[in-house]
Structure 1
Amino acid sequence: MSAAVPRPRRLTGLALGCAAILVLAACGSDDDTGGGGGGGGGGESGPAALTLGYFPLVHTATAVNAEETGLFDDAGLDVTLEQTSGGAQAIPSLIAGEYDITYGNYTSALLAAQQGLPVRIVAGNDVGADDHAIMVAPDAPYQSAADLAGARIAVNNLQNIGTVAINAVLEDAGVDISTIQYVELPLPDMAASLAAGDVDAIWQVEPFQASALASGARVLFPLFSGPVEGMPVAGWLTTEQYAQENPGVIEAFREAMAASMEELTDKSERLVELVPTYTQVPAETVEQVVLPQWDVEADPEQLQEMSDRMLDYGIISEEFDVETMLVD
Structure 2
Amino acid sequence: MQRSTSPLNRTKAGAAVVIAGLLLTGCASAEATPEHVTDEATTVRVAVQAIADFAPIWLGLEQGFFTDAGIDLQIVEGGASSAAQIPLLLSKSADIAATTAAAALQASASGLEVKIVAGLTDFATNASADQSGLLVAVGSDIKGFADLEGKTVAISGLKSVSEAVISAAVDAAGGDSSKVSFIQGPMPTLGDMVVTGGAQATFLIDPFLTLATKSGLEVLGRPFADVAPGVPGTSLVASTEYAAANPGVIKKFREALKLSAAFANENPDRVNKALSAEAKVPLEMLEGTTVPKFVSVVDPQRLEVEAAMLRKYGALEGTGDTSNLVVPE
Is the pair's TM-score, using the shorter chain for normalization, greater than 0.5? yes
Q: Give the structure 2 partner of residue 265 of structure 1.
A: 265
Match of 1:264, SS state, is helix
**Greater shift in the superposed pair: 212-221 or 241-250:** 212-221
Distance 2:186 2:258 in 1: 30
Amino acid of the structure 2 residue aligned with 1:93: L
Distance 1:53 1:302 in 2: 25
Q: Give the structure 1 partner of residue 118 of structure 2.
A: 123
Contact 1:131-1:289 within 8 A present in 2 as well = yes
Q: Which runs of 5+ in 1 are unaligned?
A: 9-29, 37-42
Are 1:53 and 2:47 matched, yes or no?
yes
Q: Give the structure 1 partner of residue 316 of structure 2.
A: 316
Match of 2:220, SS state, is strand
Contact 1:108-1:159 within 8 A present in 2 as well = no
Alignment of 1:55-134 (within 5 A): 55-81=49-75, 82-129=77-124, 130-134=130-134
Moved over 3 A (4+): 1-8
Are 1:209 and 2:209 matched, yes or no?
yes
The alignment-based identity, stated in percent, is 28
Match of 1:296, SS state, is coil
TM-score normalised to structure 2 length: 0.85
1:97 offset after TM fit, Å? 2.0
Q: Give the structure 2 partner of residue 4 of structure 1.
A: 17
Are 1:296 and 2:296 matched, yes or no?
yes
Distance 2:47 2:34 in 1: 18
Match of 2:279, SS state, is coil
Distance 2:103 2:239 in 1: 14
Contact 1:271-1:286 within 8 A present in 2 as well = no
Distance 2:263 2:96 in 1: 21
Amino acid of the structure 2 residue aligned with 1:156: S
String of CA shifts for 1:50-71, please: whole Å, max 9, x gaps: 2211222112111111122222
Q: What is the alpha-carbon root mean square deviation over aligned residues?
A: 2.0
Distance 1:219 1:155 in 2: 15
Inter-CA distance 239–179: structure 2 relative to 1 (3 Å threshold): same
Contact 1:158-1:182 within 8 A present in 2 as well = yes
Match of 1:229, SS state, is coil
TM-score normalised to structure 1 length: 0.85
Residue of structure 2 aligned with 1:33, choices 36, 45, 61 = 36
Contact 1:165-1:224 within 8 A present in 2 as well = yes
Inter-CA distance 66–177: structure 2 relative to 1 (3 Å threshold): same
Match of 1:62, SS state, is helix
Distance 1:299 1:272 in 2: 26
Matched positions, count: 298
Contact 2:161-2:310 within 8 A present in 1 as well = no
Q: Which runs of 5+ in 2 are unaligned?
A: 5-14, 23-32, 125-129
Contact 1:118-1:240 within 8 A present in 2 as well = yes
Match of 1:182, SS state, is strand
Contact 1:34-1:49 within 8 A present in 2 as well = no
Distance 2:68 2:174 in 1: 51
String of CA shifts for 1:297-328, please: whole Å, max 9, x gaps: 21111111211222212223320211121112
Match of 1:225, SS state, is helix
